[in-house]
Amino acid sequence: MSRAPADSLKPILVIGRSGQLAQALVQADPDLLACGRDQFDLAQDDPAALLDAHAPFAVINAAAYTDVNGAEADPEGAQALNCTGPARLASACKARGIRFLHVSTDYVFDGAPGAAPYKESARTHPLNVYARSKRNGEDAVMTANPDALILRAAWIFDARGGSFLNAILNRLDNGLPLKVVHDQISTPTWAPDLAQALLALAQRDVMPGGLYHFSGGDAASWYDFAKAAIALSHERLPVEPVIDPVDSSAFPQPAQRPLDTRMDAQALLKATGIGPGDWRAGLPEVIARRYEQRKE
């Protein structure tokens, strides 16, 4: 456990600046210090100078190697950014009494039939290089800093970046039909929901250490998610959208994906009072913002 001084004015430092989660954190609290790779490369830099220069109260690691297919050909890069770097940062925070919060993924589970919803104590069995690097990162962070807080989240999305949401809407904007997998199921997470949870945890009088699951809301397949997005953007599309459900086998990829990674988030609710987000409530705002940005 780590306790915050009641009159603490120290800032919260976010590692990462351009990603969806980092930008959602900054939007939620403009006083945050967001640090991009040009200032600190998590994969290789010693964090001591950064931490000593800013003397933050808490550090939220929003940087990660998230190219799931790319990691298959770059296991060293994924391991450096998702495991070695976060562990080094967690250790440096521990030595300075700085709170450390880290984000992991539902992909640490294999999605075997009947296994979900997963509790935090469930056995992990990652199916691809990316997922192994994230699971290794969880272990390394907690070994380096037992007071650290790790939140597992799934399918993070927002209006920015090369997300699944933007990929399908780009096709629809060009009048192209869609085939979307219906047999991969989890809980989509609106980035601002996760950002608010992380900030609330970082600012608590007592921050619980350990590993927790954050739920983004109702469970859905990628096909369900795509249908919800189409319903909200229908009037903006040039032609009537065509979307067909397909099995994952229709889209062979370098990295195998788990099929059902729904997570049980009751432990976080019981320990902190922080409940699930609501991706269905966030999706209209994301789509509206996306089309506003395209006009600028």
Q: Quote the CA–CA distance of 32 and 206 in Å, as a whole number.
A: 20
Helix (H) or strand (E) holding 244: strand 243-246
In sequence order, the 6+-apart residues with CB closer than 8 A to the CB of 47 are 40, 88, 89, 92, 93
Residue 211 CB neighbour total at 10 angstroms: 18
Q: Quote the CA–CA distance of 201 and 194 in Å, as a whole number.
A: 11
Q: Which of 107, 118, 130, 212 is the catalytic position? A: 130
Has 130 been annotated as catalytic? Answer: yes
- Cβ atoms of residues 14 and 33 within 8 Å: yes
- Cβ atoms of residues 10 and 57 within 8 Å: yes
In sequence order, the 6+-apart residues with CB closer than 8 A to the CB of 285 are none
Q: In whole angstroms, how far apart are CA 5 and each of 94, 125, 274?
A: 16, 39, 22
Residue 44 CB neighbour total at 10 angstroms: 11
Q: Quote the CA–CA distance of 124 and 109 in Å, as a whole number.
A: 5
Q: Quote the CA–CA distance of 253 and 250 in Å, as a whole number.
A: 10
Residue 118, strand partner residues: 263
Secondary structure (3-state) at 254: coil
Catalytic residues: 130
